[in-house]
Amino acid sequence: MTLSKRGRTVRNAIYCVLVYLFLFLPIAVVVAGSFNATESRPYLTWKGFSLMWYQRLFDGSQAALMEAFGHTMLIALTSTLLSTVIGTLVAVGMYRYRFRGKALIDALLYVPVVIPEIVMGISLLVLFAQAQVPRGMLTLVIAHTTFCIPFVVFNVRARLAGYDVSVEEASLDLGANRVQTFWNITVPVLAPGIGAGALLAFTLSIDDVIISYFVNGKTSVFPLKVMESIKMGVPPSVNALSAILLLFTVIFVVLTQSDLLSRHRSE
């Protein structure tokens, strides 16, 4: 059966709506749940609109959740910073210099990406136990930094593929020393790659469950807290916190995308 042009348009529209529903309905449910005035488990029936769960996040009654969230943010920021710096240096160094064992190091970079997270979690735990490092913030940051580095390297490297070293030479030629050249030229030209890598690292760190589960010791983190609490239905406070996180993410994406878009137009 052939459809008229109008018919095809309608059909396409329906497909689109379905795909987007599938993508966004769960998110909408989470956001809606955060405004639910219900007090009783399993928090599924709609009792009217309320901001009470948002209030409770900040009035101290959800201290454990908020503490876990704070830890997660701190870990994510620290490990993003560390993995971005290390990863960028690795990518630039591997791009610029030739040395023995480069191919091996290159291949090893893929290991943390491809091995199952559970294996990585166990091995880190064994390592920390053997080395008698007390599990907690420190081990979490080390673990997260470790699995984030390759992602930063890959993003920066992709940017380096189209990189012309002569811009650095031009900078040196115009009187800038090596340090000035690195900050004025190398970093800004690679910035989109570095930024993408950092963003990915941040996201990976925030929602990591498996590895964190092995190395967190007594330190609570947000994803693990959520896992614990959903055994008795998802409390709307988790929804509320998720919704806030979502809002920040959206704002951030919009800001960076518009910057990226304007950059694209100029390039």
Partner 1 sequence: MNEKIIVDVSHVDKYYGDNHVVSDMNLKVREGEFLTLLGSSGCGKTTTLRMIAGFEDPTSGEICIEGNPVAGKAPFERNVNTVFQSYALFPHMTIFDNVAYGLRIAKVPKADIATRVSDILELVQLEGFERRYPAQLSGGQKQRVAIARALVMHPTVLLLDEPLGALDLKLRKQMQLELKRLQRKLGITFVYVTHDQEEAMTMSDRIAVMHDGVLDQLGTPEEIYERPQTKFVATFIGETNIFEGCVNEVDTTKRISVGLENGNVTVAPQEGFRFGEFVTISVRPEKLRVSLEPREGFSLYGVVRDYIYVGSVIKCNVVLPNSNEVRFERLAGDELPKPGEVVFPYWEPDDCVLIHNRDNELYTALESIRLV
Residue 59 or 173: the one with the smaller Cβ distance to partner 1 is 173
Residue number with CB closer to partner 1 (127 or 189): 189
Shortest distance (Å) from residue 168 CB to partner 1:
9
Instruction: Tell which residue, 138, 18, 11, has the closest CA to residue 79.
Output: 138
Residue 12 structure tokens: 């396409």
Taking alpha carbons only, the member of 153, 185, 183, 157 closest to residue 169 is 185
CB of 184 to partner 1, least distance (A): 8
Question: Which residue, 180 or 257, has its beta carbon nearer to partner 1?
Answer: 180
CA separation for the pair 57, 227 (Å, rounded): 18
CB of 183 to partner 1, least distance (A): 11
User: In the bound complex, what is the minimum distance in angstroms from residue 159's beta carbon to partner 1?
Assistant: 11
> Closer CB to partner 1, residue 27 or residue 174?
174
Q: What's the distance, CA 218 to chain centroid?
A: 23
With respect to partner 1, which residue has the nearer C-beta, 107 or 179? Answer: 179
Give 36's strand partners: 49
How far apart CA 45 and CA 37 sit, in angstroms, is: 9
Please count the residues of the chain.
267
**Smallest gap from residue 176 Cβ to partner 1 (A):** 5
Cα(first)–Cα(last) distance of the chain, in Å?
46
Q: How far is the CB of 83 from partner 1 (least distance, A)?
A: 24
Helix axes 117-130, 137-161, angle to 10 degrees: 130
- Tally Cβ neighbours within 10 Å of residue 13: 10
Residues at the interface with partner 1 (CB under 8 A): 164, 166-167, 169-177, 180, 184-185, 188-189, 191, 266-267
Q: Nearer Cβ to partner 1, position 88 or 237?
A: 88
Q: Are 227 and 209 in contact (CB under 8 A)?
A: yes
Collapsing DSSP states into helix, strand and coil, what is residue 263? helix
